[in-house]
Amino acid sequence: MNAPTTFRAVRIVVVGGGAGGLELVTQLGKKLGRSGRAEITLIDSSRTHIWKPLLHEVAAGTLDSHDDELEYLAQASENHFRFVLGRMNGLDRANKLVRLAPLFSAGGEQIMPERTYPYDLLVIAVGSICNDFGIPGVAEHCMFLDTTEEAELFQNRLLEAYLRAQAAGGASQPGELDVAIVGGGATGIELSAQLYQAARLLSSYGLDNIKPSDIKIHILEAAPTLLAGLPERLSRATLQQLESLGIDVRLGVKVVEVTEAGMRTESGEFIRAAAKVWAAGVKAPDFLKDIDGLETNRINQLVVGPTLQTTRDDDIYAIGDCAACVWPGKGIYVPPRAQSAHQMASLVLSNLRSRLQGKSQKNFKYLDYGSLVSLGKYSTVGNLMGNLMGSVMVEGFIARLVYLSLYKMHQLALFGPFRVVLLMISSFFRKRIQPKIKLH
Ligand SMILES: Cc1cc2nc3c(=O)[nH]c(=O)nc-3n(C[C@H](O)[C@H](O)[C@H](O)COP(=O)(O)OP(=O)(O)OC[C@H]3O[C@@H](n4cnc5c(N)ncnc54)[C@H](O)[C@@H]3O)c2cc1C
């Protein structure tokens, strides 16, 4: 008698549950995990997810991260995938294993040892981190907005500086409450507007020894314009808006050193600031560099072909900020944005399903729907349909609606329409009963 053949479902592992990875794994769970056609696993180094474009609001305190975060374990159990807590630090392609670093508690106690996790098909979606370009003092003295923990730490320090100055009867030293942000891209600009709003909210909550005008916010950008790569009129409109708020924007200024007290520029000028934020460019995490022979570019991104499979291993895909995918006809890589991660997740979902059915895979076509920059409650500016039918500049209410719709699309992919409506209702009421800024 023949031995019974054992069926084993294909193991699809997604590492990184961010803007791209979490959408992908949720849809894979629904489409393949539920029916048992594949075993779907998400590995992430964090236990919760927050949509990264909200981090500047968390940093300024205008958003409480707990209001908008998602528990991976709950999402997994509702959507037919498994969640594994772990930080990927290597790969064994020959044996098809993801290597995971040991896990430690906040107190330094080891919770889990170094491990490996098996896969048949792997999707790497670990996003990006800030690139300090090796400039002296940045790593030691600057804050970054790469994770929720960093954004919360920034908010905490800001609040402590305010409370200290309030107790002392006001700011006693130059730059004591000032913030210097390096990088005139969307992150730096959006953070500056949120901080401007936060300063006004804090004095309205009784920290009245500090006048909002005591706080200077500087944006330092090496390029001659803000929002490099986007239409000039958009960058001009943004500059005007920031200047009307009194934010000090310096263009063509290169920071060469950061110290405890502030930042030194190439021309020798020293800008004093207690809080220093680095938001000038990104790179993929360092562990990806030359990871088990996969091809990477100079900023550690995994080079992928048109189907988003890595160039040296068809069983490994990369999506989002950590993928270097050529934008056909443009001669540049697809930009690291939430909309790119969203579109890549959709294509890999379709390609993995085709692959399991023995069908051919599709090529990635990036559609640039434009870029929007939110200046908090003051304004939103942007250009729509950037590369589809010429760019249409939008401002104000319409721009705000389109900006908010990006996040709603992410929520729709994760929760479906019914829950998104419930979330909108609960957020409406929460905003009416909670303080407008996080005060702890
Ligand atoms: C403050 C800010 C504002 C932004 N605003 C906008 C905007 O308005 N519009 C826009 O289009 N884009 C914006 N972006 C960029 C956008 O957030 C990113 O392009 C997008 O999140 C990339 O998605 P991703 O899936 O590649 O990675 P991410 O969303 O960054 O997710 C990566 C995931 O991988 C996990 N991870 C990382 N390393 C490991 C590891 N070693 N092992 C396991 N898990 C790991 C992380 O915990 C995270 O969950 C903004 C970014 C920031 C920081």
Position 203 scores a pLDDT of: 82
- On the question of pLDDT at 321 being above 90, the answer is yes
> Ligand 1, atom 48: nearest CA belongs to which residue?
18
Position 285 scores a pLDDT of: 97
- On the question of pLDDT at 209 being above 90, the answer is no
Q: Is 437 in the pocket of ligand 1 (CB under 6 A)?
A: no
pLDDT tens-digit series, residues 9-60: 999 999 999 999 999 999 999 999 999 999 999 999 999 999 999 999 999 8
β-bridge pairing 217-221 and 332-333? unpaired
Q: Is 342 in the pocket of ligand 1 (CB under 6 A)?
A: no
pLDDT tens-digit series, residues 81-105: 999 999 999 999 999 999 999 999 8
Q: Which helix (H) or strand (E) holds 181?
A: strand 179-182
Report the percentage of the chain scoring pLDDT > 70: 97
Question: Which atom of ligand 1 lies closest to the CA of 374?
Answer: 8
Q: Is 382 in the pocket of ligand 1 (CB under 6 A)?
A: no
Q: What is the model's pTM?
A: 0.93
**Any residues with CB less than 8 A from the CB of 169 and at least 6 apart, and which?**
209
Q: Under DSSP, is residue 133 helix (H, G, I), strand (E, B) or coil?
A: coil
Structure tokens at 32: 């393949």
Distance 393 CA to ligand 1 centre (A): 26
Distance 108 CA to ligand 1 centre (A): 26
Distance 278 CA to ligand 1 centre (A): 16
Kindly report which listed range (160-174, 180-194, 265-279, 414-428) carries the lowest average pLDDT score: 160-174
Q: Is 56 in the pocket of ligand 1 (CB under 6 A)?
A: yes
pLDDT tens-digit series, residues 149-202: 999 999 999 899 888 888 888 887 877 899 999 999 989 999 999 999 888 888
Position 366 scores a pLDDT of: 94
- On the question of pLDDT at 389 being above 60, the answer is no
Q: Identify which has the larger pLDDT, 237 or 436.
A: 237
Position 432 scores a pLDDT of: 81
Q: Tell me phi and psi for residue 420, to 5 degrees.
A: -65, -40
> Ligand 1, atom 46: nearest CA belongs to which residue?
16
pLDDT tens-digit series, residues 330-362: 889 999 999 999 999 999 999 999 999 999 999
Distance 391 CA to ligand 1 centre (A): 26
pLDDT tens-digit series, residues 292-311: 999 999 999 999 999 999 99
- On the question of pLDDT at 328 being above 80, the answer is yes
Report the percentage of the chain scoring pLDDT > 90: 69
Q: How far apart are CA 158 and CA 164, in angstroms?
A: 10
Position 391 scores a pLDDT of: 67
Position 133 scores a pLDDT of: 94
Distance 38 CA to ligand 1 centre (A): 26
Position 4 scores a pLDDT of: 54
> Ligand 1, atom 7: nearest CA belongs to which residue?
53
3-state secondary structure string across 364-381: CCCCCCEEEEEECCCEEE
- On the question of pLDDT at 435 being above 90, the answer is no
Position 11 scores a pLDDT of: 98
Question: Which atom of ligand 1 lies closest to the CA of 319?
Answer: 26
pLDDT tens-digit series, residues 125-153: 999 999 999 999 999 999 999 999 999 99
Q: Tell me phi and psi for residue 222, to 5 degrees.
A: -75, -30
Rounded to the nearest integer, the mean pLDDT of the chain is 91
Position 434 scores a pLDDT of: 77
Question: Which atom of ligand 1 lies closest to the CA of 56?
Answer: 1
Structure tokens at 315: 């069983």
Structure tokens at 305: 């072909």
